[in-house]
Structure 1
Amino acid sequence: MKSFSKPSLSRLPSAILALSLLGGFAAGSAEAAQATAASAVAEDSFDAALAPYFKTNLPGVSVIMTRAGKTIFRKSYGLADLEAKSALRPDMMFRVGSVSKQFTSAAIFQLIEAGKLKLDDDINALLPELPNQGAKITLEQVLSHTSGLKDYVRSPKFAETAGKPITRQQIFELFKDDGLAFPPGQGFAYSNTGYFLLGMVIEKVSGMSYEDYLAKHIFEPLKMSQTAYEGRERDAQRRVEGYMGQGEKVQKADPINIDIVYAAGGLVSTVDDLATWDRAIVEGKLLKPSSWELAMQPHKIHGTQNAGYGYGWNNYQIRGARAIGHDGIIPGFNAFAVRIPEHQLYVAVLGNNGFAAPNSAYLVEKIAAIAMGNPYPEYKAIQLDADSLEKFVGVYKINDKDDRAISREGNRLFMQRSGRGKFEVLPCGPAEFFIKDSPSRVHLRFVADAAGAFEQLIVTQNDLPSAEIRKAGR
């Protein structure tokens, strides 16, 4: 999960702030016009950036990019079904995983506007079947992942039941007694459990099933005909197969009972429908501007600490510009969709390989940066001999619990973070390295002391320094 410091928007009048967040205010500004003119990029540039990652005989992605509501790039790469050898098309449906959360959030806000819910409502009052945790847990805390509810997806019980026929009630029974990771409102921890419960709230308050509510109150009004809760598609033949694997070694993903993710990640959609959804938000459909504004504002813990997450949307930066979006990782699929209001851009990439490298988030950010006229640097690997590489070997300590171990195997260098797997780092300069297609664009720079010994390591991720550490013993 990515985060960033919220831009200084608090002094803008409320109506202007809402338009700024959704892209409407930028549309009328001289700055936006200049940005649009400066970042107008030929379609070939996006294709050239994406095509090398995909083969015609393997799973792939569908991509859409819009600017001010107009499609400027739309294309698919790879296969929808390896056995049938059918090619992907942009009008095909993918599982979108946690991108579903923004639709669940919008449904909650519709019920708030209808006077049936309030952000301050206690989840236990709405769902008395949920064991009381000894403290009030508000809808706002559930929406913003500040409830403290433990994430049932991380439980061994989740993996054991994911592919089995099991009802939503039985799933609820599995995690309802898991308790809290911290007192409500005292921290941030991403929790699918909370969004599962929000689905139950929508059903109880509306008197409709979660899938029926979304169909009637969101998908049908917006004519999103290819978006649905999985199993409720109008044309299920358009759904693509999901795969897992690396390179040529891919296989069909294990089956999953979609009810186990429910309102936290149970939807299927197309890039076209997601672009329609984004345009509806920009135009202020379904909800009041103030509701859309609130849903996308980064939540503040204790009123001051930026959680980097709103109510169903993550907030971070792409090349210095505010980005509002979400990823979706679910067996066989990986998705990412983001809006960049300053540039009136919306980009969505839906992939049908859950283990794809690079993933959809990397691809979205890569082409979004191109569209913004500020592409990420393209590092090119060079060759360094074993003696040159040996100078960097050692353990660089952040603290007693966290370090970066640099090791060499022949003419290859590797980095390993405490408790995690190791990655090859490729030289792009005499003392600079990168991880190929790293989702967070990891870059390493080793710094020598006065005697020429490399004793300091500066790690950068997504243009921002993430660690500046010294070799152990120095």
Structure 2
Amino acid sequence: MVVPELNVDVSSALDGIFAPFNRSDVPGLVVGIAQHGKLLYRRGFGLASLEHGVANTPGTRMRIASISKHFTALLALLLVEDGKLDLDAPIRSYIPELTGPGGDPTVRQLLLHRGGSRCFIDIGILSRGLAVPPAGTGLATQVRQTGRNFAPGDSMLYNNGGYHLVSIAIERVGGASFEAQLKQRLFDPLEMRDTDSIPSDYSITPGIATMHTPVPGGGWRRGLFPSEENRGAGGIVSTIDDMLRWTDHLRTQDRFGSPATWAALTGLVPFPDGTIGGYALGLAVESYRGVRLVHHSGGVIGGTSQMLTAPDHGLDIVIMANGAPACSPVKLAEQALELILADHLGERTPTIAAADYKDLLGDWWSADTGMVYSLIGEEDVLKLSLCGASQGAPLKKAPDGRVILSAASMGTIELGLDDAARSHELTIRFAGQSAVYRKVSRETADVEAFVEAATGQYYSADADCTAVIAREGERIVLRCGDAYGQAECELVCLGEKVTCLAPAVTGWTAALSFSKQGGRMTGFQINLPRTRYLSFERKQIR
């Protein structure tokens, strides 16, 4: 096929998309776009290092974060070809230390985020903030869990801990370190010379951009991931050139892997109720305005990324950012896609005006799940967010009239807004499960009564963490600590027995549901983004 040159107008339009990041005083991003193997756009913007005044270039290395997941899945599939790994065997078959519920999921379920296990990263951030524990803490935390998010295969919840376990299994059966196997079997055959899996941000890595996080009130800090064992879930460092080699091979599939392996990588598996999710083995597969996309985004402390390919059009887009202000690689990739494939895209699914459901705006809590979701109006668009976060994802009206949110990691999320307007009960359905939520309010909550009942010290054996709830001036503070550090968050009271964490700069949040007896809180369950039903019991002071 002869591919025409990208015309000057389109190239200029791409420059226009990325122009806000063409600065010499802030972190930036790198962009690579190719079609049918022909390079269309290759630029660096902003600074790779504010500290040293070094600019981003197309050759700058950055973390691809969770885009790493499908590399892990593909390596596992190659080991299946070798007869060394069985995706349908319980992970306990390869990690016998997992004697509790964390050993029950199969390797495949973990790769699909359907294993139901909790995530050691969530638990670590809750317990110690960004303090870095020693290597081995990840597995030790997973082994310690006596509870889980759900029974294996019943639902789906995006989870880094599962991919960490798979990387350990790969290492144990593959005859070399996980990182060495990635290099030998995936990177080297494609001559991805600037790509490596680097478990720790504390390792000196030549050519890599500094990740940057903004400081409230001005200034920047280094973004350092709070783990020395970032492996199968998000450990890869690469360049846009290497990643474009990779995305090209995702379509040609001519260097390694059997047809069955490649089909398994992007195959979509039904949930128990028969609905189809949008997440395969480390890759999201969905239709965007009528165009089939295979993609995955990523995020680390101080960095974000997006890899997108439109196989039927041979279009590949890779964007990696190291803290560029107001930068969403996912949205930027969509803008580039819309520009290049403008003649192939269908109509947009319309968003919903927040004013249409103004009486439903606010926080909604489920006694069954313990989670809090929030309906917010952002630029007059109705959006769904987690635990009162100020930024959410837009809700849309499907052609059949359903109110939906397209979440590739869980398929379509459906909200019964019209029924909620009548019954004051909001049903949210996703990943093969549904739950009923009822409205709670920070405006009407009796904060003083909550503080009196909740103040005290609590302990979680699964997290091996002590938590203290206290009143400090106008703030209700949750202070957690384990053997390696501590973290402090502000609680927002939503009702007699419901709170959530105040939104943080990182966007990380959680919901807490309390048990009460005789006017005193006896414990609580905390629901984190990727860890649910984590119990804390009140400690008796002697």
TM-score bucket of the superposed structures, by smaller chain: 0.7 to 0.9
Structure 1 Cα separation of the partners of residues 103 and 141 of structure 2: 21
Aligned mate of 2:139, from 172, 184, 203 = 172
Contact 2:102 2:117 in 1 (8 A): no
Contact 1:395 1:403 in 2 (8 A): no
Aligned mate of 1:217, from 171, 185, 188 = 185
For the structure 1 residues 69 and 211, does the alpha-carbon distance in structure 2 shift closer, same or farther, using more than 3 Å as the test? same
Secondary structure in 1 matching 2:176: coil
> Is 1:372 equivalent to 2:341 in the alignment?
yes
Q: Aligned ranges for residues 334-413 of structure 1 at < 5 Å?
A: 334-353=304-323, 356-373=325-342, 394-396=358-360, 401=365, 404=375
Q: How far off its partner does 1:301 sit?
A: 2.4
Contact 2:363 2:374 in 1 (8 A): yes
Q: Letter of the aligned partner of 2:140 in structure 1?
A: E
Match of 1:297 in 2: 267
Contact 2:289 2:347 in 1 (8 A): no
Q: Letter of the aligned partner of 1:347 in structure 2?
A: I
> Is 1:326 equivalent to 2:326 in the alignment?
no
Aligned mate of 2:31, from 63, 68, 76 = 63
Q: Letter of the aligned partner of 1:323 in structure 2?
A: L
For the structure 1 residues 135 and 213, does the alpha-carbon distance in structure 2 shift closer, same or farther, using more than 3 Å as the test? closer
Contact 1:135 1:183 in 2 (8 A): no
Identify unmatched segments of 5+ residues in structure 1. 1-26, 28-32, 379-388, 424-437, 445-457
For the structure 1 residues 198 and 277, does the alpha-carbon distance in structure 2 shift closer, same or farther, using more than 3 Å as the test? same
Q: Aligned ranges for residues 183-222 of structure 1 at < 5 Å?
A: 183-222=151-190
Structure 1 Cα separation of the partners of residues 404 and 199 of structure 2: 45
Q: How far off its partner does 1:78 sit?
A: 0.5
> Is 1:286 equivalent to 2:246 in the alignment?
no
For the structure 1 residues 469 and 277, does the alpha-carbon distance in structure 2 shift closer, same or farther, using more than 3 Å as the test? same
Deviations 1:109-140 (A, max 9, x none): 11001111122122111110112429842111
Q: Letter of the aligned partner of 2:334 in structure 1?
A: E
Match of 1:383 in 2: none
> Is 1:276 equivalent to 2:262 in the alignment?
no
Q: Aligned ranges for residues 11-160 of structure 1 at < 5 Å?
A: 42-133=10-101, 136-156=104-124, 160=128
Contact 2:102 2:148 in 1 (8 A): no
Match of 1:256 in 2: 225
Secondary structure in 1 matching 2:206: helix
For the structure 1 residues 170 and 256, does the alpha-carbon distance in structure 2 shift closer, same or farther, using more than 3 Å as the test? same
Structure 2 Cα separation of the partners of residues 403 and 199 of structure 1: 35
Match of 1:22 in 2: none
**Higher mean C-alpha deviation, range 45-54 or range 329-338:** 45-54
Query: Hey, which of these two has a bigger chunk of strand by percent?
Result: 2
Structure 2 Cα separation of the partners of residues 104 and 350 of structure 1: 19
Contact 1:166 1:257 in 2 (8 A): no
Structure 2 Cα separation of the partners of residues 313 and 417 of structure 1: 23
> Is 1:229 equivalent to 2:193 in the alignment?
no
Contact 2:268 2:276 in 1 (8 A): yes
Structure 1 Cα separation of the partners of residues 383 and 25 of structure 2: 33
Secondary structure in 2 matching 1:220: helix
Structure 1 Cα separation of the partners of residues 354 and 111 of structure 2: 49
Match of 1:427 in 2: none
Contact 2:49 2:55 in 1 (8 A): yes
Q: How far off its partner does 1:165 sit?
A: 5.1
Structure 1 Cα separation of the partners of residues 194 and 27 of structure 2: 20
Q: Letter of the aligned partner of 1:95 in structure 2?
A: R
Contact 1:316 1:322 in 2 (8 A): yes
Structure 1 Cα separation of the partners of residues 153 and 65 of structure 2: 25
For the structure 1 residues 134 and 239, does the alpha-carbon distance in structure 2 shift closer, same or farther, using more than 3 Å as the test? closer
Secondary structure in 2 matching 1:328: strand
TM-score w.r.t. length of structure 2: 0.64
Contact 1:222 1:276 in 2 (8 A): yes
Aligned mate of 2:280, from 292, 310, 331 = 310
**Higher mean C-alpha deviation, range 85-94 or range 240-249:** 240-249
Secondary structure in 2 matching 1:155: helix
Q: How far off its partner does 1:237 sit?
A: 2.9
Q: Letter of the aligned partner of 1:366 in structure 2?
A: Q
Q: How far off its partner does 1:160 sit?
A: 1.8
For the structure 1 residues 165 and 99, does the alpha-carbon distance in structure 2 shift closer, same or farther, using more than 3 Å as the test? same
Q: How far off its partner does 1:255 sit?
A: 2.8
Structure 2 Cα separation of the partners of residues 469 and 104 of structure 1: 39
Q: Letter of the aligned partner of 2:188 in structure 1?
A: E
Structure 2 Cα separation of the partners of residues 356 and 334 of structure 1: 11
Larger RCO (CA within 8 A; separation ≥ 6) = 1
Q: Letter of the aligned partner of 1:268 in structure 2?
A: V
**Higher mean C-alpha deviation, range 298-307 or range 111-120:** 298-307
TM-score w.r.t. length of structure 1: 0.73
